[in-house]
Structure 1
Amino acid sequence: MNRFRFFLLVMLIPVLSFVLSSCDNDDDMVYISSVPNAIVTVKPNSDNTSFVLQLTDNKILVPQNMKSSPFGNKEVRAFVNYTRLSTGMSDMNVRINWIDSILTKPTYSIRDFRDNPDFATDPVEILDSWEMGTEDGYLTIRFRTRWNPGSKHAVNLVLRDDINHDGPILQFSHKADGDTYTGVAGDGVVAFRLPDYFNEGGEPFKIILMWKSYTGERTREFTYFQRKDTAD
């Protein structure tokens, strides 16, 4: 089983930064925001000779200034800042100003993960932010906890198929590496690919996320809409 024991992306995004063209005329300055304007799924074809960005279930971004994915032939979730060039019924030609991958991980079954040393319920806060939600077969989570220099946090998503419930229950597992109540507060963003069988049946259904916060056990409910795959 692939194990991740490293510091998650800490979101210290400035409000705005500028990229200037090499020109003496101030009117020719090019302003590019350092803030993402979307989260997308990066979907390369099998040999990464082309790729698209899944924006919503019904809208695909088609990069015009990049031929191959900067992340190889691996599908990942990513922050992107793009400029719209033209729009069709189901796709949009865009220029990618910048793109940065989000840590993207699978969802584990509790039966496979219960004895894994990275399974823990150290406290963490799940934030209500624009990144948070289910889309395109993924659950994206922004969380906040405390970090000390050099510490190695581990986060995972575990399907609690040992709990009898009408719909799926997913547990956010956080191993704090000793940073439970000390260190500087910081945020991380992680995306989890949900099980493929969630996409069977065609009808939306409810899923429950559970986690241990600093003030006790918490849950949140989401409506899951089945993923619509983009053909290679």
Structure 2
Amino acid sequence: MSTTAAGRAASKTPRRAAPKPKWNNAVDSRDEQYQLKKKAVILEAARAFGRRGAANVSLDEIAAALNVTKPALYYYFKNKQDLIYECHELTMQVGDEALQKAIESERTGYARIAAFIRIYVPALTGELGAPALLRSDSALTPSQVKRTRERRRQFDLRLRGLVEDGIRDGTILPCDSKFAVNWFMGAVASIPDWFDNQGERTGEQIAEIFASFLARGIQRA
């Protein structure tokens, strides 16, 4: 098959929707089952909260989406506020893991940031379904807000550190690391506003586009 023909065939391949959280899964132990079902609730809630705002989504709706009763949710979370906090935690965990993988897989500052984009964006548009990128912490308790903001601050500082590493190793043009991170992470944060997993671009393709923009913006030629 020619390259052109292969491309046409690939374009006709049905797009796969982001995987739905599963509730009734066979697992080996009771603890594994508990953790799996808890994560299913978090994933469903994160998507719903991200799309419509936490204030506009009830626990009844989340339970219905998972085909369980509302009381079943209280086995995993004390209340809605606790669930919202766990959604923030999961989103940050995905970011931390993507960043760590990028750092371990590349050697220069620029290469690590580009790798982070290529890992993080597909994670957001895949398992988390993009809308999980929660932006407001107004529904959290003061102590939860403090923990969440500190975790975000540390994440931001690690990204700035990679920009500064890239400036030192010559792979990134001299720039203000704070503004550079705000620029490319602002673009990533916009994904929930327009991404459609049935649309014309996959998460991997979007990540490559973002990485190419990153190259034009801060990479030293």
With normalisation by structure 1, the TM-score equals: 0.27
Q: Tell which has more relative contact order, 1 or 2 (C-alpha 8 A, sep 6+).
A: 2
